[in-house]
């Protein structure tokens, strides 16, 4: 089960098997076709493939599910990215007059990457993650999921594990897909609280009054803060990490805390001291009065790569693409089971390919049915059944549920349209 089972050198051998027997093309097409409500929605969508040796092929597009399957099985991409829906077929973008080929729509997407938290996690850095810092992703999903649903009114949110160190969110509502660049950046900025680069120490500054969005986000963060930051990361334990925290409080409080901390070594008690000062400060001072909230947010609040969300034409790694370094499949995540999601339990391509070779059980009954079907259906059936025999099954099942919910929304749309005809 561990990723040590996966050897990147085997990827060229495993990919053909994966695309031939396991990749859930049916669901994938069902998703991107969006019920066929809009003409050419799937056909004008850009896909881009990363092939062996980092060869990057942009502006791929396909007219049918079958064409997509054939091409993926032929190219065996190491990585698949999804782009925008364009005004023309992306694979013909060179044939139309320049300037008329334009990105029109795309899901509103968010990309949260663990490397952006390097200044506030002590367990790992860069591309590494562990179960300790994974909590940051859990918090990020909780905060954003709530805000996108309650504040912005979106319903169809697909959260996807990126396969290595982060998560993606695809907001699939029709209204979200139609957002302008300006609207996307406004949404992303509304959702951003942590600001500043290497030259900024204090990255969260709150002002009165605290916006309902911030209050709601804080209560999500609070659920995890003690366990994650105080126990897991021990931010009030070691001297240098304590100093980092103290750099975020007003000077007078910092001096007092430094004295208090000499006698108090317990991180949770130390945090109580900080909260205590914040409490008193709130009644007296006007400025810098929310420093304990600011600390919590700086350490835990989701850090968005805003440029990914802004652009309509920005590419993002596709669900069910394989991560070439870890071999893990980019799988949809069920937010209802978020707290038990374990990135290290996500199947690798080698695992599911191995599972295919396990002896089949309880299939005798089905076999007789197969004979009656024509050949194409049989192939389709076989693939459906193939992934069901692997650890990929539960993720595809969740994806199915997600699509069913979305389908009910476009069914209404289709009915309306046909009624008008």
Query: What is the helix, strand, coil percentage profile of the chain, to 5?
Result: 55, 10, 35
The token pair that represents 109 in the structure block:
């997407």
- SS3 (DSSP) at 304: strand
- CB closer to another protein out of 1 and 57: 57
Closer to another protein at the Cβ: 189 or 334? 189
* Integer angstrom CA distances of residue 52 from 16, 77, 325: 13, 7, 13
Of positions 73, 87, 91, 185, contacts another protein by CB under 8 A: 185
Q: Which is nearer to another protein, 100 or 358 (CB)?
A: 100
Locate the DSSP E strands across 64-199: 79-86, 103-105, 108-113, 157-161, 166-171
In the complex, least distance from residue 78 CB atom to another protein, rounded to whole angstroms = 13
In terms of Cα–Cα distance, which of 308, 317, 352, 318 is closest to 181? 308
The residue within the footprint of another protein, chosen from 2, 4, 9, 182 (CB under 8 A), is 182
Q: Which of 81, 107, 113, 292 is catalytic?
A: 113
Cβ nearer to another protein, comparing 312 with 331? 312
Dihedral sign computed on CA atoms, order 47, 152, 163, 21:
negative
Helices of type H across 76-211: 131-146, 174-177, 181-190
Using an 8 Å Cβ cutoff, are 303 and 117 in contact? Answer: yes
For another protein, give the closer residue by CB, 53 or 342.
Answer: 53
Cβ–Cβ under 8 Å, residues 79 and 96 = no
Known active-site residue 413: no
Out of 1, 51, 130, 175, name the contact with another protein by CB under 8 A.
Answer: 175
**Contact positions with another protein (CB under 8 A) in 266-295:** none
Site string for another protein, 135-164 (x = CB under 8 A): ---------------xxxxx----------
Torsion from C-alpha of 22, 378, 66, 360, nearest 10 degrees: 0
Regarding 264 and contact with another protein (CB under 8 A), the answer is no
Task: Using the rule CB under 8 A, give the single segment among 8-16, 112-120, 354-362, 399-407 that binds another protein.
Answer: 112-120
Choose, by CB under 8 A, the member of 20, 29, 75, 119 that binds another protein.
119
Among 1, 51, 210, 414, binds another protein (CB under 8 A): 210
Candidates 32-40, 87-95, 209-217, 380-388 — which segment interacts with another protein by CB under 8 A? Answer: 209-217
Count the site residues for another protein by CB under 8 A: 46
CB environment 16-42: b (16+ within 10 A), e (fewer): ebbbebbbbbbbbbbbbbbeeebeebb
How many Å apart are CA 89 and CA 68, to the nearest integer?
Answer: 14
Report the residue from 190, 276, 279, 384 that binds another protein according to the rule CB under 8 A: 190
Which residue's structure tokens are 């990827």?
Answer: 11
Q: How far is the CB of 201 from another protein (least distance, A)?
A: 5
- Based on the residue annotation, tell me whether 373 is a catalytic residue of this protein: no
Cα–Cα distance between 105 and 175 in angstroms, integer?
Answer: 10
Query: If you count them, how many residues does the chain have?
Result: 421
Give dist(CA 114, CA 80) in Å, integer.
Answer: 21
User: Is residue 189 involved in binding another protein (CB under 8 A)?
Assistant: yes
DSSP H stretches of helix in 191-313? 212-225, 239-246, 251-263, 267-284, 291-300, 306-310
Question: Residues 363-392: x/- map of binding to another protein (CB under 8 A)?
Answer: ------------------------------
Residue among 84, 167, 187, 221 that touches another protein (CB under 8 A): 187
Applying CB under 8 A, the span of 184-192, 314-322, 382-390, 401-409 interacting with another protein comes to 184-192
Q: How near is the Cβ of 75 to another protein at its closest, in Å?
A: 18
Of 209, 359, 362, 365, the one binding another protein by CB under 8 A: 209
Should residue 50 be labelled a site residue for another protein when binding is judged by CB under 8 A? no
Q: Tally Cβ neighbours within 10 Å of residue 286.
A: 9
The edge-to-edge listing of strands for the beta sheet with 332-333 is 108-113, 166-171, 157-161, 332-333
Q: Name which of 137 and 353 has its Cβ closer to another protein.
A: 137
- 354 counts as catalytic: no
**CB-wise, 36 or 196, nearer to another protein?**
196
Query: Which residues are annotated as catalytic?
Result: 46, 111, 113
Chain positions contacting another protein, by CB under 8 A: 53-54, 98-99, 115-119, 150-154, 175, 179-180, 182-183, 185-187, 189-190, 194-202, 207-215, 303, 305-307
């Amino acid at each position: 089960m561990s990723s040590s089972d996966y050897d990147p050198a085997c990827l060229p051998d495993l990919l053909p098997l994966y695309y031939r027997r396991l990749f859930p093309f049916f669901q994938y097409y069902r998703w991107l076709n969006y019920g066929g409500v809009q003409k050419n929605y799937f056909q004008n969508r850009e896909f881009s493939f990363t092939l062996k040796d980092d060869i990057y092929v942009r502006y791929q597009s396909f007219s049918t599910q079958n064409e997509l399957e054939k091409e993926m099985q032929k190219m065996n991409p190491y990585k698949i990215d999804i782009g925008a829906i364009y005004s023309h077929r992306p694979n013909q973008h060179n044939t139309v007059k320049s300037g008329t080929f334009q990105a029109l729509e795309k899901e509103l997407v968010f990309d949260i990457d663990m490397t952006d938290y390097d200044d506030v996690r002590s367990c790992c850095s860069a591309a590494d993650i562990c179960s300790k810092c994974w909590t940051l992703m859990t918090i990020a999903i909780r905060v954003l999921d709530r805000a996108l649903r309650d504040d912005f009114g979106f319903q169809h949110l697909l959260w996807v594990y990126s396969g290595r160190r982060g998560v993606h969110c695809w907001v699939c509502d029709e209204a979200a897909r139609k957002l302008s660049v300006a609207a996307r950046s406004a949404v992303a900025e509304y959702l951003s609280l942590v600001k500043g680069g290497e030259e900024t120490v204090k990255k969260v500054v709150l002002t009165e009054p605290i916006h309902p969005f911030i209050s709601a986000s804080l209560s999500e963060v609070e659920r995890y803060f003690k366990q994650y930051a105080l126990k897991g990361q021990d931010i009030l334990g070691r001297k240098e990490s304590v100093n980092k925290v103290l750099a975020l409080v007003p000077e007078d409080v910092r001096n007092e805390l430094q004295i208090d901390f000499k006698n108090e070594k317990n991180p949770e008690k130390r945090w109580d001291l900080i909260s205590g000062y914040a409490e008193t400060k709130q009644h007296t001072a006007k400025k810098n009065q929310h420093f304990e909230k600011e600390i919590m947010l700086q350490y835990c609040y989701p850090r968005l790569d805003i440029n990914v969300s802004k652009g309509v034409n920005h590419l993002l790694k596709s669900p069910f693409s394989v991560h070439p370094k870890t071999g893990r499949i980019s799988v949809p995540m069920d937010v209802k089971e978020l707290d038990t999601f374990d990135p290290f339990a996500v199947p690798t391509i080698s695992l599911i390919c191995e599972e295919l070779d396990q002896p089949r059980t309880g299939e005798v009954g089905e076999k007789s049915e197969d004979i009656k079907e024509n050949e194409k259906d049989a192939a389709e059936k076989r693939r459906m059944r193939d992934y069901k025999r692997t650890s990929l099954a539960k993720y595809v099942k969740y994806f199915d549920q997600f699509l069913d919910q979305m389908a009910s929304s476009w069914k209404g749309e289709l009915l309306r349209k046909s009624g008008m005809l």
